[in-house]
Amino acid sequence: MSAAWPVSPFWDFSLEIYGRPGVEAACLALQDEHHLDVNLVLLAAWLAASGRRLPPSLAARLRRLGEDYQARIMQPLREARRALRVSAVDTDLDRLRAACRQSLLRAELDLERFEQVQLEILAEGAEHDPASAPRLLLSANLAALYPALDPDGAFPSDHLAVLAAQLADAAPPVSPDKPSP
């Protein structure tokens, strides 16, 4: 990629928290089992860790952006990458398939980052609510993003518990040109 990436506290937070024990598996389960956009789940966590709550109207705009991006860009790319899986690399053709799969994986990561940059810019309108605990804000943000999945205030629990447990020590990085929330 030739253009420089903008400073993104959300991206930095996502990389840091995604690498923590159990978070990757929990996020992928939320994606594969519950059809949630991992970037929206991470956005809800980032906002919660920084003491911000999503109002329903903003959450709806973020969800539309994420759903459209996932449907038109990420899902087809992810399916193509998964279709290129190789069980064993025995031939030149297998090695070429593996190299193509790696190229798609790199493109997928760049496109996930691009989605996050868009979401971060749009999420600047999130309301500050530093009095609420991050776990409660995570639940509130996810309920705002996915109201149809959360009619009783109980989200897919086990996977989200893993993410919520990590918020206690997750200090969201702050951009040098933006004040801390």
Let me know: does 42 contact 27? Beta carbons within 8 Å: yes
Burial class (CB in 10 A: 0-12, 13-18, 19+), 76: exposed
Q: Which two tokens stand for residue 105?
A: 């994986």
Q: Which pLDDT belongs to residue 174?
A: 45
pLDDT tens by residue, the chain, 181 residues: 568 999 999 999 999 999 999 999 999 988 888 888 999 999 999 999 999 999 999 999 999 999 999 999 999 999 999 999 877 778 899 889 999 999 999 999 999 999 999 999 999 989 999 888 998 899 899 999 998 875 555 556 778 888 888 887 665 544 434 433 3
Q: Residue 30 — left, alpha, or beta (φ > 0 → left; ψ -120 to 50 → alpha)?
A: alpha
Let me know: does 54 contact 60? Beta carbons within 8 Å: no
Q: Which pLDDT belongs to residue 177?
A: 43
